[in-house]
Structure formats: C-alpha cells, structure tokens
C-alpha cells in the first residue's frame, strides 16, 4: 500500500468540499474526463492541448501528478491531507477508482472517494521530519519511503511511531525528489510556535495585540468565566461612532461546534456590540457554516490561518511585547513556478 499527499488548493479552497463529500480531488480544470486515458502519452497530449504554452518542466511535473492520481493510486492506499485552513492533518483511505464529476465546482472535476480514518489530527501527532514529508509544493505527490507509510498506518492503528532516525531518512529523500513548499513550511512552523507559546488565555492577548495593531483599543477579560467575552474592542476609549467588537477566543486544537458560535452571537447582541469575532485555533465544525450564512457581516471567524495572516499583515505595528514573543525576520526568496493546481 502506498501513501499519498493531496493538497486542497493553494489557499485551502477545496478543503471543506473534501471533508463534506468524503473525497480528494486535484485541480487541472482545463482537462476534461480522463476516464478513457490509458497511457501517459495520451494524457500528455491532452495536457498540451489545454496548456500549449506551458514550459517543459512544468508540463512534465503536472502530467506526472495527474497520471499518478489517475493510474498509480489503488483502492486501499492511504492519503494525507494537510489542511491549510486549520493546520490539522486528515488521513483517509482511497475507496474508489478515478471519477470525473461536474457537480463540485470547476476546480474539482477529477476525484477519488475516500473514507476518512482520522480527522483534525494536530501536527504534534507527527514527528517533525514526517511533517516535512507532507510539505510538497505539488497538489498530489507520493511519500516515497515505506517508513512514512508505515508511520501513518501505525498512527491510525494507535501504535507507536517509528524512531526519529527513521523519519529523518524520509526527509532527506523527499528533499531531493520532491520540491518543498517553503512558504507552507514557514507558515506551519509559525503555527506550531504560536500553538506552544500562546496556550489557553494567552491566545486572547495575542488577538488583542493584533486588534490594537489595526487601530482598535482592546480590553482582555481576566482568566476564568467570562460570559462568552474574552475581548472587547472599539475604535476609541468610548467608541461611540466606530465598531464595537465582542471577541471570543478558543485556543484548543480541535474544531469548535455551533453552540459556541450561538453563544457569541447572543452575547454580541446582548452587550449591543456592532460586530462579533470568533477565534478558534482548531477551526470550525461544518455545522457552523450553515448557521453563519446570514451573519456574514455581523460575526467574523478566524482560525489559525487567519490569525497568522493578520499577524504578518500587521506585524510592524504590533505592541512591542507581542513582537518580542514572536521574533520574525523578513527575507526574500526566489519564487518558483507554481506546481499546485
């Protein structure tokens, strides 16, 4: 059995559909039904028709990804999905051959059914070197070494992880053979750092610092029962004309359910705030998506990716205390051609 890594889009835009429909998919929306494709050359001909100006290197890379998804994956293989939206890991077992679908959006025509075996696993469940093996810059790739597949299967079966020495061997191979998404790796490193440094009520202080960097005055409630309000924020000491924000912060690694969302919405109305902000480091369960459709301009939601995005966007104006706890240095690296679709 083989272990595959599938990404849910450059910004995680396919991830919710992966979860809801129990499947994985790749992009390449210009390619139509590939069910009749038998050989790599046939696939290459279709790709060249769809992307006639693609450089040779990108063409080879993309054809290799699609061909693997189409022909090399077998029912029973494991697939890992590193979720960009929540920072968690999902593990599934492939349940079907290739399927062409047109009901999930143009970016999800090429699919395979999966049974989710593990959902929302924190990154801390894996050896650091194993996490690097999930950091490919490609939409679909293989974790080459058998130890990686064995490690994931053992985790699913709740067995002991392989030693770090074994895992490090995997990383070395993948660094040579699979291009790494350096931006994704840096984001995940920052996510892990924040998760360790800002546990529990400390995360509320980080969120307050970000709100202050955006020009708001934020007041953090003391630890303990808070009546559904961790932070209140306004545009001034009284904030009569500007936004008045009621904030609830959850630092747990697991996603929160709709009950927490309803409590914040009710509390926001009770204290006559103009907006609510629900921060959940571990993300949100699907039940909240339906509930929140009518509140899109009233209640905002941040998960870990949103917190990191706001942190980086406002880093220069963060309070000095926060910056001292999260020391960052900006660097420039040469952008590589996109290998995700």
> How far apart, in whole angstroms, are the C-alpha atoms of residue 253 and residue 164?
24
Question: Do residues 222 and 146 both lie within one domain?
Answer: no
Tell me: the pLDDT tens digits for 297-330?
Answer: 999 999 998 999 999 999 999 999 999 999 998 8
Q: What is the CATH number of the domain that holds 105?
A: 3.10.590
Q: What is the CATH number of the domain that holds 305?
A: 3.40.1350.10
Range of the domain at 244: 198-325
End-to-end CA distance of the chain: 25
Question: Do residues 158 and 255 both lie within one domain?
Answer: no
Question: Do residues 317 and 255 both lie within one domain?
Answer: yes
Asked which of 151, 180, 209 is the last residue of a domain, the reply is: 180
Return the sign of the alpha-carbon dihedral for residues 215, 217, 222, 228: negative
- Is residue 79 within 8 A of residue 4, CB to CB? The reply is yes
Question: Do residues 131 and 202 both lie within one domain?
Answer: no
Question: Do residues 220 and 126 both lie within one domain?
Answer: no
Instruction: Report if residue 110 sits inside a domain.
Output: yes
- Report the domain count for the chain: 2
**Helix, strand, or coil here: 160?**
coil
∠ CA 218-219-224, nearest 5°, is 140
Asked which of 153, 180, 207 is the last residue of a domain, the reply is: 180
Instruction: Report if residue 154 sits inside a domain.
Output: yes
Question: Do residues 202 and 169 both lie within one domain?
Answer: no
CA 300 to chain centre: 18
* Dihedral class, residue 32 (left if φ above 0, else alpha if ψ from -120 to 50, else beta): beta
Instruction: Report if residue 130 sits inside a domain.
Output: yes
Question: Do residues 103 and 208 both lie within one domain?
Answer: no
pLDDT for the residue 64? 93
Question: Do residues 143 and 207 both lie within one domain?
Answer: no
- Is residue 195 within 8 A of residue 326, CB to CB? The reply is no
Return the sign of the alpha-carbon dihedral for residues 64, 69, 75, 80: positive
Tell me: the pLDDT tens digits for 76-111?
Answer: 999 999 998 888 889 999 999 999 999 999 899 999
Instruction: Report if residue 253 sits inside a domain.
Output: yes
pLDDT for the residue 93? 95
pLDDT for the residue 333? 77
Name which residue leads in pLDDT, 290 or 60. Answer: 60
* Helix axis angle, 146-156 to 164-177, nearest 10°: 130
pLDDT for the residue 337? 60
> How far apart, in whole angstroms, are the C-alpha atoms of residue 70 and residue 55?
22
Instruction: Report if residue 316 sits inside a domain.
Output: yes
Average pLDDT in the chain? 86
- Is residue 282 within 8 A of residue 256, CB to CB? The reply is yes
Position 295 pLDDT exceeds 60: yes
Instruction: Report if residue 341 sits inside a domain.
Output: no
pLDDT for the residue 336? 61
Tell me: the pLDDT tens digits for 235-263?
Answer: 865 555 678 999 999 998 888 889 999 99
Instruction: Report if residue 242 sits inside a domain.
Output: yes
pLDDT for the residue 151? 82
Asked which of 113, 145, 180 is the last residue of a domain, the reply is: 180
What SS3 string covers 300-333?
A: EEECHHHHHHHHHHCHHHCCHHHHHHCCCCCCCC
Question: Do residues 132 and 228 both lie within one domain?
Answer: no
Position 21 pLDDT exceeds 80: yes
Question: Do residues 119 and 148 both lie within one domain?
Answer: yes
Return the sign of the alpha-carbon dihedral for residues 159, 162, 164, 167: negative
pLDDT for the residue 160? 47
Instruction: Report if residue 68 sits inside a domain.
Output: yes
Question: Do residues 169 and 222 both lie within one domain?
Answer: no
Question: Do residues 175 and 105 both lie within one domain?
Answer: yes
Strand pairing category for 23-26 and 89-94: unpaired
pLDDT for the residue 159? 52
Q: CA-CA distances (angstroms) from residue 194 to 78, 264, 279?
A: 30, 24, 14
Task: Give Cβ neighbours of residue 126 (< 8 Å, ≥ 6 apart).
Answer: 89, 134, 151, 155, 161
């Amino acid at each position: 059995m083989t272990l595959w890594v599938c990404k849910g889009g450059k910004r995680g835009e396919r991830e919710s559909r992966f979860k809801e429909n129990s499947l994985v998919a790749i992009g390449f929306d210009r390619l139509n039904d590939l069910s009749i494709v038998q050989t790599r050359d046939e696939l290459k001909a279709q790709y060249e028709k769809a992307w006639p100006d693609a450089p040779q290197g990108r063409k080879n890379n993309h054809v290799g990804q699609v061909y693997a998804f189409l022909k090399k994956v077998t029912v029973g293989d494991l697939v890992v999905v590193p979720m960009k939206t929540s920072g968690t890991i999902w593990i599934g077992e492939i349940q079907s051959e290739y399927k062409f679908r047109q009901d999930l959006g143009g970016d999800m025509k090429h699919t395979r059914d999966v049974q989710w075996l593990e959902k929302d696993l924190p990154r801390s469940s894996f050896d650091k070197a194993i996490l690097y093996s999930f950091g490919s810059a490609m939409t679909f790739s293989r974790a080459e070494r058998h130890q990686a597949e064995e490690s994931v299967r053992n985790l699913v079966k709740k067995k002991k992880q392989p030693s770090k020495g074994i895992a490090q061997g995997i990383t070395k191979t993948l660094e040579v053979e699979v291009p790494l998404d350096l931006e994704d790796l840096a984001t995940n490193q920052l996510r892990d750092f924040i998760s360790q440094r800002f546990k529990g009520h400390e995360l509320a202080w980080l969120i307050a610092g970000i709100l202050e960097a955006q020009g708001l005055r934020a007041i953090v409630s003391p630890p303990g029962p808070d009546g559904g309000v961790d932070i209140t924020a306004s545009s001034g000491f009284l904030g009569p004309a500007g936004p008045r924000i009621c904030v609830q912060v959850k630092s747990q690694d697991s996603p929160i359910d709709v009950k927490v969302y309803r409590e914040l919405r009710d509390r926001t109305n009770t204290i006559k705030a103009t907006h609510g902000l629900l921060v959940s480091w571990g993300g949100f369960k699907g039940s909240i998506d339906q509930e929140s459709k009518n509140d899109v301009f009233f209640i905002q939601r941040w998960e870990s990716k949103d917190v990191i995005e706001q942190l980086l966007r406002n880093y220069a104006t963060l309070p000095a205390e926060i910056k001292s706890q999260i020391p960052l240095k900006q660097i420039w690296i040469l952008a590589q051609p996109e290998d995700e679709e």
